[in-house]
Amino acid sequence: MRRFSYLLLCLCFNSIYAQSVKYQKIYIQGKALTNANEYHRLDTVNYPNIPSEVKRLLTHPTGLFVSFKTNSEVISAKWCVTDKKVSLNMTAIANKGLDLYIKRNGKWQFAGVGKPSKTCSEDKIVENMDNSEKECLLYLPIWDEVKELQIGVARDAFIEELPNPFQKRILIYGSSIVHGASASRSGMPYPARLSRSTGLNFINLGLSGAAKMEYPVADMVAGITADAYILDCVPNSSPEEIKERTAYLVTSIRNKQATAPIIIVQSIIREHGYWNKNVGNRVKAQNEQIAKEFNTLQKQGLKNLYFITADDLLGKEHDATVDGTHPNDLGFDKMIEKLQPAILEILTKHGIYSASNK
C-alpha cells in the first residue's frame, strides 16, 4: 500500500510539473557549417573520402549550444541521446548531459546541468530563480550523438531565441583534448571556455584519437571559411604522419584562406610520459617533428603562421589530468593560462580581436 501511494504521489508530481512547463526547440549554434542534421557538427555526406571514425565523431555535438533569453523562474530540458556507454574518463554529465550558463554582470556564469538518466531524459536544470530577463547559453553533450533537444520554461514566461553571442570564426582542429576529454561538463573544454572569456566564436573540430591530418580531412578543414585556424592535432599524429602531412594541411588552408592566421600548437606533455619512457619519447619526437615542419614552412615564406610550444601547457603541478593524458578542469585552466594570451596577441595583430569583443 505504501509503495502504491508513493508511485501515485510521483505520478501526480510529474503531471503537475508537466503542466507547469512548456517546451520548444531552439536553433543550434556553434557549428562550422550549416548542415541537414542540426545536431551534427558537419554533414559528412559532403566529405565521402574522410575516414569513417572522423565521420562518426562529427556526429558528437561538442561545442554546439543554444542561445536564448527568458524571464522564467525555472529552466528545464528534454533531450535524447544514444544508448552507448559512458566513456571511462568522462563524467556522465559531460558525456551525455547539458551545461547551462546565464550572463551575470556581463559575464557567463555557471547555472546548472541537465543530468542524463536514460536514453531520453527530462531534467530541471535550474529553478527558484527570480522572474527577471536572463540571457542563457546551454551546451549540448560532448561525447554522444543527440537526437532531440527541447528547452522548457514556466508556462507564464517567455522564451526567445538569440543570435550567436560570439563574434568571428576561429576554427580549432584537434584531438580528444579539443574534443573535450576529460572536462567535467560540456561547457568546460578549452574552446568553449575561450569563447565565453573572449567573446570570440571558437568552433570545435576536435576528433578524439582521429585528428591525424589525412589529406581528405585537410581538404575539409581548408574548405571551412574562418578568420583564423588553430591546429592542435599533434597528439594524435605519429612523427611520420606529422612529417608527411603537416605541409599539406597548412598549405591547403593557405591556398583557400590567403591571409588568415594559422596557429600550430605542440602536443601537451603527457603526465604518464614522465614515467613511461615509450610515451615520453613519442611525445618528444612528435613535438620535435612539428617544430621542424613549422620552421621549414616559415623558411619557405609562408606568412601569418604561428607556433605555440608545449611548455607549461598543463602547468607544473602534475595534477592536471584524469588519466595521464586528458586534462581535468584544472588542466584546462592551465591550458587557457598559456593559450589565451598567446592566441589573443596573434588575433589582435590581425584585427580579429579587441577588448570590445567581450
How would residue 34 be classed by pLDDT, with cut points 50, 70 and 90?
A: confident
Query: Is residue 27 within 8 Å of residue 68, measured between CB atoms?
Result: no
In a domain, 50, yes or no: yes
In this structure, are residues 306 and 339 in contact, taking their beta carbons and an 8 Å threshold? no
The pTM assigned to this predicted structure is 0.93
Q: Does residue 2 fall inside a structural domain?
A: no
Residues 105, 215, single domain; the answer is no
152 three-state secondary structure: strand
Whether 187 and 140 share a structural domain: no
For the stretch 189-238, pLDDT in tens is: 999 999 999 999 999 999 999 999 999 999 999 999 999 999 999 999 99
The answer on 172 and 138 residing in a single domain is no
Regarding whether 273 and 240 lie in a shared domain, the answer is: yes
Q: Are 91 and 204 contained in the same domain?
A: no
Q: How deeply is 219 buried, as exposed, middle or buried, from its count of CB atoms within 10 A (0-12, 13-18, 19+)?
A: middle
Does residue 237 lie in a domain region? yes
Cβ atoms of residues 149 and 130 within 8 Å: no
Q: C-alpha cell of 198?
A: 573572449
pLDDT digits (tens, 9 = 90+) for 108-129: 999 999 999 989 999 999 999 9
Residues 193 and 55 in one domain: no
Provide the pLDDT confidence category of residue 15 given band limits of 50, 70 and 90: very low
247 shares a domain with 291? yes
Which residue's entry shows cell 529552466? 75
Q: Which of 104, 128, 161 is the last residue of a domain?
A: 161
Residue 3 has a pLDDT of: 44
What local confidence, expressed as pLDDT, does residue 125 receive? 98
For 326, what's the count of Cα atoms within 13 Å in the CB-facing half-sphere?
22
CATH number of 299's domain:
3.40.50.1110
Number of domains comprising the chain: 2
pLDDT of residue 272: 93
**Cβ neighbourhood burial of 24 (10 Å; 0-12, 13-18, 19+):** exposed
Give pLDDT tens digits for 223-277: 999 999 999 999 999 999 999 999 999 999 999 999 999 999 999 999 999 999 9
Looking at the chain, the whole-number percentage of residues with pLDDT higher than 90 is 91
Over the stretch 53-97, which tens digit does the pLDDT of each residue have?
A: 999 999 999 999 999 999 999 999 999 999 999 999 999 999 999
- pLDDT of residue 43 exceeding 60, the answer is yes
The greatest distance separating any two alpha carbons of the chain, rounded to the nearest whole angstrom, comes to 81
Task: Tell me: do 70 and 171 sit in the same domain.
Answer: no
Residue 5, domain member (yes or no): no
Q: Say yes or no: 237 and 146 in one domain.
A: no
Residues 6+ apart with CB under 8 A from 299: none
pLDDT in tens, 88-107: 999 999 999 999 999 999 99
- Answer for the pair 53, 137: CB distance below 8 angstroms, yes or no: no
CATH code of 126's domain: 2.60.120.260
Measured CA to CA, the distance from residue 311 to residue 289 in angstroms comes to: 16
Of 139, 161, 183, the residue at which a domain comes to its end is: 161
Strands (E) in the chain, as ranges, are 21-24, 65-70, 75-80, 98-104, 107-114, 120-126, 134-139, 148-154, 159-161, 167-174, 200-206, 228-232, 262-265, 305-308
Which has the closest alpha carbon to 172: 150, 147, 153, 198?
198
Is 334 inside any structural domain?
A: yes
Q: What is the mean pLDDT of the chain?
A: 93
Is residue 12 situated within a structural domain?
no
Q: Is there a single domain that holds both residue 120 and residue 137?
A: yes
Q: Is residue 3 situated within a structural domain?
A: no
The confidence score (pLDDT) of residue 358 equals 60
Least confident of 18-27, 57-66, 149-158, 260-269: 18-27
Rounded to the nearest angstrom, the gap between the alpha carbon of residue 322 and the centroid of all alpha carbons in its chain is: 18
**Residue 116, in any domain of the structure:** yes
Q: Would you state the cell numbers that stand for residue 156, as one nine-digit string?
A: 507564464
As a whole number of angstroms, the distance between CA 80 and CA 158 comes to 24
The verdict on 106 and 178 lying in the same domain is no
Q: Report how far residue 222's alpha carbon sits from residue 231's, in angstroms, rounded to the nearest whole number.
A: 11
Whether the per-residue pLDDT at 7 is higher than 60: the answer is: no
Q: Mark whether 61 and 101 lie in a shared domain.
A: yes
**Partners of 316 in beta bridges:** none
What one-letter code names the amino acid at 288?
A: E
* Residue where a domain terminates, one of 114, 137, 161: 161
SS3 15: helix
Residue 14 pLDDT more than 70? Answer: no
What range defines the domain where residue 53 resides? Answer: 21-161
Return the residue matching grid coordinates 559531460.
Answer: 94
